[in-house]
Structure 1
Amino acid sequence: METMTRLLAGQRGLWLAFYGSVLAAWGVLFAMQTRDVPAALQIDGLAFLLSLCRTTAADAGFGSALIMWSLMALAMMAPTAFPAFRTFAQINRTAGAGGQPVAALLAGYVTVWLGFAVAAALLQVRLAEFGLVSTLGRSVSAPLNGLLLLLAGAYQFSRLKEACLNACQSPMTFFFSHWQAGATGGAKLGVRLGAVCLGCCWALMLLAFVAGTMNLAFMGLAMVLMTLEKLPAVGARITAPLGVFLILSGAVVLLLSAITTIN
């Protein structure tokens, strides 16, 4: 509570709007899981969003898939970067820079993940066209599931993952190493932070195709794991074990698929 009080000081509207958006994204994603929607919620905009999970990705088209992935990116990834956001806000408050650089940082960060949402939506639509994903964006191909699990597991041990994770775990060092003042500087730092965060998490995010892109349990678990990875005291303890688990899971899936095919 004390941390939130310090963070909100002088920037209350900005942070309430940002995290209100995150909560709204989670709320819409939750509502999209519900078959029976109250009549009071049947307004045009929300009704459209709720309809996205009731058609296949191929039928709904790229636009609908993009909205779904954008909501997922905002709901899952913004909370994982909270320590970095807090650090940047504290630096700017100490310098008396106001809230504009912080707002620009947030905008730059979100922009990068919206770019990922574009790529993921294109991938989902293409996979749907080939009949490789179900109506809820879940892979129906065991080989694809196995390969995605192996990819995510192997990436946990890559140098790029390590470098990006180190930057996320040391936000103070990251910001001072690339510091640029003002709103323009904040936007550039936001894009750089978003790129680093993307470098940490893109492979884990693609596992949504294994669990289902509308699977709230997966979203919550993945958000928690990616948040913990970015904490210096915890991240070093879970990155490698998570990688081993994913590699073993992928190998088992591929082995069972091969046995089934032979039989």
Structure 2
Amino acid sequence: MSGTHWLALFGLILASWASLYAMSIPAEMRAMEQIYGRDFWVELCAITPDGAGYIRMVLMWSLMSAAMMAPTVLPALATYDDLSHVSGDAKFGKLVAGYMAVWVGFSVVAAGFQMILFQAGLIGVFGDSLSAGLSGGLLILAGLYQFSTMKEACLSKCRQPMTFFMQHFDEGPWRNGLRLGLVCLGCCWALMLLAFVGGVMSVAFMGLATVIMVVEKLPDLGRHVTKPLGAALLMAGAWVLVTGI
């Protein structure tokens, strides 16, 4: 089987990370928001949480999703590749397209959520939370979700891609990609929303979150990560709410 589809996928991941790095806002520029005020940065920044910048925000969230989520699903994609008995470049492409379609949908919603939060004064122009209540609430939400049956059900499918695909293989690559994307979304949506705590344009946060989500989906190690991570998020959320930091 040709490896062209894998080269294209890794190219997409690298291009997404490179684009996010180019779009990221250095810490010193973030600090200057306190000096000049956010109106100055709304006019200056390329990505602005207003009507004119909404499409750019959707693009930014889509890049985040491709960069962060594609590495977490590589074992599942490899499993599907192994199950394909004929040359799979086209099928593989449809699988990835279906998967990313789900995350583009998430990006549309997340960009709208970002706009609402900005207009309410809860986040800054760089997507950073300005509210201890928002930060603590998102951390507690993510922590609670780590213990939910929905999270566990979705993770069990991600950790057993062979079983998952064998159940739905006859539906074709596009629908399998959609199913895989929905399962992945069920695993990771709450952790992705923590971007508003760590900084939407923070490459450091994105890198750390990606590593956590990759490890969490591993069949053996991941089982020992989910609930301790949930407890840590709950404690962090409570700390933020109590201290107001």
Does TM, normalized by the shorter one, top 0.5?
Answer: yes
Structure 2 CA distance for aligned equivalents of residues 52 and 190 of structure 1: 39
Query: What percent identity do the matched residue pairs reach?
Result: 51
Distance 1:189 1:64, change over 3 A: same
| Structure-2 residue corresponding to 1:225 | 212
What amino acid is aligned across from residue 126 of structure 1 in structure 2?
Answer: I
Give the corresponding residue for 2:32. Answer: none
SS at match of 1:178: helix
**AA partner of residue 170 (structure 1):** Q
Which residue number in structure 2 is paired with residue 139 of structure 1?
129
Distance in 1 of aligned mates of 2:63 and 2:184: 17
Sort the Cα spacing of 1:112 and 1:52 in 2 relative to 1 into closer, same or farther, 3 A: farther
Which residue in 2 is equivalent to 1:42? none
Closer, same or farther in 2 for the Cα pair 1:158/1:53, shift >3 Å? farther
Runs of 4+ in 1 over 3 A off after TM superposition: 51-56
Q: 1:204 aligns with which of 156, 166, 191?
A: 191
> In the alignment, residue 67 of structure 1 is paired with which amino acid?
L
Residue number in structure 2 paired with 1:3 = none
Give per-residue Cα distances to partners, 1:83-141, cap 9 Å, x unaligned.
0000000110xx22532221111110011011100010000011111111111101101
Q: Hey, what does 2:145 align to over in structure 1?
A: 155
Distance in 2, Cα, partners of 1:204 & 1:34: 21
- Aligned 8 A contact 1:52 1:64 in 2: no
Partner of 2:49: 57
Letter in 1 for 2:19: V
2:66 match: 74
Q: Which runs of 5+ in 2 are unaligned?
A: 27-42
Q: Deviations over 1:136-179 (max 9, x none)?
A: 10110110000000000000000000000000000000001122
Determine if the alignment matches structure 1 residue 243 to structure 2 residue 227. no
d(CA) in 1 for partners of 2:25, 2:125: 15
- With over 3 angstroms needed to count, the CA separation of the structure-2 counterparts of 1:176 and 1:55, relative to structure 1, is closer
SS of the aligned residue for 2:24 comes to coil
TM-score (normalised: structure 2): 0.89
Q: Determine the C-alpha separation between the residues in 1 that align with 2:10 and 2:47.
A: 29
1:26 counterpart = 2:17: yes
Contact 2:72 2:213 in 1 (8 A): yes
Asked if 1:15 is matched to 2:6, the reply is yes
TM-score, with structure 1 as normaliser: 0.83
Please report how far the alpha carbon of residue 32 of structure 1 lies from its aligned counterpart in structure 2 after TM superposition: 1.6
Aligned to 2:220, the other structure's residue is in SS state: helix
Query: What is the aligned length?
Result: 229
Q: Secondary structure at the match of 1:131?
A: coil
- Give the partner amino acid of 2:158: C
Greater Rg over alpha carbons, structure? 1
Output the CA distance in 2 between the equivalents of 1:84 and 1:219: 21
Q: Is the 8 A contact 2:72 2:214 kept in 1?
A: yes
* CA spacing shift, 1:34–1:244, aligned 2, 3 Å: closer
Q: Does 1:121 align with 2:108?
A: no
Unaligned runs of 5+ in 1: 1-9, 36-50
Question: What does residue 76 of structure 2 align with?
Answer: 84
* 1:194 matched to 2:169: no
